[in-house]
Structure 1
């Protein structure tokens, strides 16, 4: 589980409820629950976004929200170690020996790249094929996380629409002065709902999904760089140093502590 997302989203809700309770008591919560306001804000925002997309795109985008709560592991150091092992194998036994080594690779992307190399595909074509795949992946991810940016943009707008509707209805019924205050409060709830939808739900989801997409893109870029280095017959030490440049200083130090240097650098 992603503790940061759970704490961030969960504590936002806790703080909102606590602020209401501290200001108006537990009974004050009921003043912030209004079905018509929720319908115009949430329903309007979602349907406006639906109108700008296809149904499959809309549904797939909404399905990505639970992903922000799923934990991920940084496998960059493991991927680099795998590539260096492949580099050592290729240097000692030749590129064709990678076919057997590829049977133990679980990552389909890396396995595909190794297969292209073993088949004797030109380096430029290997790079073009693999880069086309990660570019397509990035576009799919972008379409999914952009839905949250779209909803975030629509939420406050539809909250304002709801507020305007409420004000119009209130002004149509000014005969009872005692109803003006409650009617104004209900009208403003839609603005609250729209802001909460954008800043509590949508922007955190968009930013977390975008960060994970970028991390996966970087990981696959490391694979491409490493496989092309192997195909070019570069020394495993050179390949290792090249791939370690993708790591942060802290992760680079951790990698070196765990693995030391490549052991296949002999001429």
Structure 2
């Protein structure tokens, strides 16, 4: 559980509500269902329109990473690679075949299979780098829906404000209806700007960071397996991988 994300969201909302209260305003005045429907509904629709179904669904599922990020055990990966290098040094690459089925990660399983099959180091690197590139592209396209939401939400807030003012203009003869229209106008703007800057854009940035960590871990696997294919000493491989880890940490 990423506690800092929870603290950040609660802290942001608290700051806004406390500021409203300190200014003498009523917190309840910020609760407007109409404004919420215009801003959030419009934003979701715009994001869906620009995305493929797979990108949208994957991006929505990735939202949970903000609170429960994927577990990336880099130390375990390094230990596994060192063990594989020692096994290959003692008994040859074919001795690693028993380790293939134990790999839960399809990427690692494929790379290890290529290593056991005796693939040339340059070819192994080239093929797996294409896999990494495709993986990174797909992940970023999915995560980008939140960045797009951060762009659309303020505009939807302005749209809500305009609609609220239209409602005000239509009811100038009835002062009892003016307050509701003005409230929708201003609260819609708050919802649009607030959701973009307190939620959508920070989420997009965090997801990009997590994707970069996933990509770095896959690159670590490739570096290690290519080193094994080249017959390098396990101690040298470990030193290189830890240096790689420090550089991408």
- Secondary structure of the structure 2 residue equivalent to 1:136: helix
Q: 2:230 aligns with which of 229, 232, 235?
A: 232
CA 95–203 in structure 1, closer or farther in 2 if over 3 Å, else same = same
Any residues of structure 2 matched to 1:157-172 within 5 Å, and which? 157-172=155-170
Give the aligned partner of residue 255 of structure 1: none
Q: Match of 1:45? A: 43
* TM-score for both structures, normalised by structure 1: 0.84
* Length, aligned pairs only: 248
Q: Gaps (5+ residues) in structure 2?
A: none
Query: Which structure 1 residue ranges, 5 or more long, are not aligned?
Result: 252-267
Could you tell me which of 91, 94, 97 is aligned with 1:93? 91
Distance 1:103 1:180 in 2: 68
Given the alignment, which residue of 114, 120, 123 partners 1:122?
120
**For the aligned residues, what is the CA RMSD?**
2.2
C-alpha separation in 1, matches of 2:3 and 2:244:
25
Deviation (angstroms), 1:74 = 4.5
Q: Distance in 1 between matches of 2:241 and 2:223?
A: 7
**Deviation string for 1:196-221 (max 9, x for gaps)?**
22112211211111111100100000
Q: Which residue of 2 aligns with 1:64?
A: 62
Residues in 2 aligned to 1:18 and 1:237: alpha-carbon distance in whole angstroms: 57
2:23 aligned with 1:23: yes
Residue 129 of structure 2: aligned partner: 131
The answer as to whether partners of 1:145 and 1:210 remain within 8 angstroms in 2 is yes
TM-score (norm: length of structure 2): 0.90
* 1:56 Cα deviation from its structure 2 partner: 3.6
For the residues of structure 2 that align with 1:112 and 1:11, how far apart are their CA atoms? 44
